[in-house]
Structure 1
């Protein structure tokens, strides 16, 4: 790259879709500031996954400690790596930043961190630099964390199990959100290993120079308007996938040529993200529903879970279905033959479905999944939640039938088409996201 004129340290939460979402934002900023070094600090495992085969002139990955003992063997407890990493912060990031400064020969002049890291505000204040926090989820989940104390004081004294359907109508834009939709740890901190850190985040984010969201204002205008009264700057700059060219990733399984052979909006794409797989009983039920419905399908399923599928399922459905260990999701959702996305309703997946107008069947699991699912089904009406929140043969078949042929399905498709149009407008010239990105550029330009 050219001579380094300034330096920004990027601190990532190295789990789920957090690193890739933050990298998308950094890619855009790096293109706007070609002489600024963006030092991308994350764990070795995370960096290897998102930078594999990719090179960016002014983005340099640096590995920080994951907090795990040498020789650690993952035995299936998903909380262990998370808890170990949280114990290692912020010391591991301070060491990584020192290494990056020494190599670049330029001091860090701005901190861009995952919003999970409330310590980012303290570090930035001590360094005398701006703190920009990036919220990976949607506006609704951010609002839930910002309002944690009001939520606890309002519903904390009731039996939440008996009142799970009580709505949060005391929070702007959340009148259809129910207690049972809230992420773990908001009401009862014991439900979530990092509940304390997330609560602290909600208290500290008002100190941030700006809070950036991978969303766009028109999708949740009431919520965004409320957040603007509580934070210094709320900058919705997404959907980022509509503003970037996708990194060239191989389609080793031949998903795209396979999709080329199918009719428009006929294929069900099935993916539950990168860190979870439904219970075996639900995988069986989903496979049985897919087989009985006769719908063409593309299923992204880790190899170790294939043996949970019904015996002979893959062979019996081979003329109209395809099971792969990984699929290029953006390209798949953008393909004209895909008509349904069966998803865990993580924010990235929801926003990508909106970006390419693919209605959803949601089976939420944890974190913001339930909130996003409620928004998809009851607020935006661009998809449906599976009956009783779990995958059954009959419930899944009903959902597939609804989306593919019923009048209600046509209505959902029109709704998501309109949302896509508003997203495209937001990132276009003079759109809300484009203007917010210019504001973000001004903030960075003033310190760099």
Structure 2
């Protein structure tokens, strides 16, 4: 009883970068903490909090006043300008939140911040509380950037292959695009390196992964900073099923076509559908969009394709009409429900980390078509390390042709399906075990809760 009372008086603030792919994993971690008895508040812009209305959650959403009702926070300004504005908003919002919770008897102990917002450490210190970074990408990506930060290699890359501690040999096109093409992403590269400058000041570094998925690199990273894998951060009812109310992410910046998707999937046989989605940010060029569309058409497979409203104009003329018997194109869908549906045979994905973890955790083979940032490295591991997918090959111009897309889909749904599915099922089992009671991720969460209550 004493432990429970102490827990209810302990308050944690969680600060994600305000993009769907960053908010979801940090929100899921927050739910896990809340079930352990902590009071958890997710601090995020008012325009995003609006999208959570009507959702049941054990986590409190505290709005930062951003004077933006559109939800398009970053569209109108540079990343540099947004970062400065968000820093000012958070600094003001955190102080007010701490004061409010103190008046209710909740002692704010810690800010868990998105690792690309390292200034949160300084602001937390000003208010006399601790801070811990949350890495929304893989341990492997974190290790690559950290090796660059430590100047174990320099940019631009001079060699066609790179050998780094605890990692397989990485070719140029296996590296994150921010490293293989540094001149194209100067600010993002700066952000990815600056996040490490105050890691020596924190007691915990949380990562959205699980130990057995990246064993060697986790072992190496553990010698560098206090890493705690707490993933995969997927709603509990798709994994360990211990949190009965945790059925979805509770937040979506896009409106999914739930009924249309599920009715269509229900009408199809087991493992007959190719699910295609490139997440909330990736945007294909018009020529690449046409090649993908024609590749799907040539494969002669049933397909469910998520094409965001802003991207529909890139579809070939009459494509939807001509494929209406074999395909369904929607602007957004409930991805977890889709991936866990028996009708889905493979997932054509950009290989963003959230999508990759979802597919691994639900045992779905992948055809990977990486676009930028960490996706190229994730794709390398999907194919060559975890062996749960096939990576498309781009031509000399960087284009993935319709013939290549057709070939990879037919391999994943045909001759290689059994092997890919067997490996995917293995990782699904290990992902579940990590979050089961006593599993590595569950143990890490419990250890953190125990320590923060007595800090």
Q: 2:98 aligns with which of 101, 111, 126?
A: 101
Shift of residue 77 of structure 1?
Answer: 8.9
Distance 2:177 2:402 in 1: 28
Alignment check: 8 A CA contact 1:290 1:397 kept: yes
Would you say the 8 A contact 2:10–2:453 is kept in 1? no
Gaps of 5+ in 2: none
2:429 to 421, 424, 429: 421
- CA distance 1:16–1:145, shift in 2 (3 Å): farther
Q: Supply the distance in 2 between the matched residues of 1:390 and 1:45 (Cα, whole angstroms).
A: 37
1:39 aligns with 2:36: no
Partner SS, residue 195 of structure 2:
helix
- CA–CA separation in structure 1 for the residues paired with 2:325 and 2:384: 36
RMSD: 2.8
Q: Tell me the residue number matched to 1:181.
A: 174
- Written as runs of structure 1 = structure 2, the 5 A alignment for 1:357-396 is 357-388=363-394, 390-396=399-405
Shift of 1:5: 2.3
Query: Is residue 234 of structure 2 the alignment partner of residue 240 of structure 1?
Result: yes
Where in structure 2 are the equivalents of 1:26-105 lying within 5 Å?
Answer: 26-33=30-37, 36=39, 38-49=40-51, 51-65=52-66, 80-104=77-101, 105=103
Distance 1:306 1:254, change over 3 A: same
Identify if the C-alpha distance between structure 1 residues 322 and 135 changes in structure 2 by more than 3 Å, giving closer, same or farther: same
Does the 8 Å contact 2:305/2:330 carry over to 1? yes
Find the counterpart in structure 1 of residue 19 from structure 2.
15
Q: 1:210 aligns with which of 200, 204, 209?
A: 204
State the number of aligned residues: 431
Task: Provide the rounded CA distance (Å) in 2 between the counterparts of 1:114 and 1:26.
Answer: 13
Of residues 436-445 and 393-402 in structure 1, the stretch that sits farther from structure 2 once superposed is 436-445
Asked if 1:201 corresponds to 2:195, the answer is yes
1:7-30 Cα offsets, whole Å, 9 max, x none, are 222212112410121111111211
1:148 has 2:148 as partner: yes
SS of alignment partner, residue 196 of structure 2: helix
Q: TM-score w.r.t. structure 2 length?
A: 0.87
Question: What secondary structure, in the 3-state scheme, does the structure 2 residue paired with 1:109 have?
Answer: strand
Shift of the 307–217 alpha-carbon distance from structure 1 to 2, 3 Å rule, reads: same
State the alpha-carbon separation in 2 of the partners of residues 91 and 129 from structure 1. Answer: 18
Q: 3-state DSSP class of the match of 1:156?
A: coil
Partner of 1:166: 161
- Report if aligned partners of 1:235, 1:440 keep a CA contact under 8 Å in 2: no
2 CA distance for matches of 1:114 and 1:120? 9
Q: What's the secondary structure of 2:153's corresponding residue?
A: helix
Q: Which residue of 1 aligns with 2:218?
A: 224
* C-alpha distance in structure 1 between counterparts of 2:389 and 2:353, whole Å: 14
Of stretches 384-393 and 226-235 in structure 1, the one that deviates more from structure 2 is 384-393
Report the Cα distance in structure 2 between the residues aligned to 1:79 and 1:278, rounded to whole angstroms. 21
- Structure 2: distance between partners of 1:63 and 1:405: 50
Instruction: Say if 1:333 and 1:71 are closer, same or farther in 2 by CA, change over 3 A.
Output: closer
Match of 2:139 in 1: 139
Q: Does the alignment pair 1:315 with 2:324?
A: no
Shift of 1:86: 1.0
Residue equivalent to 2:408: 399
SS in 1 for 2:165: coil
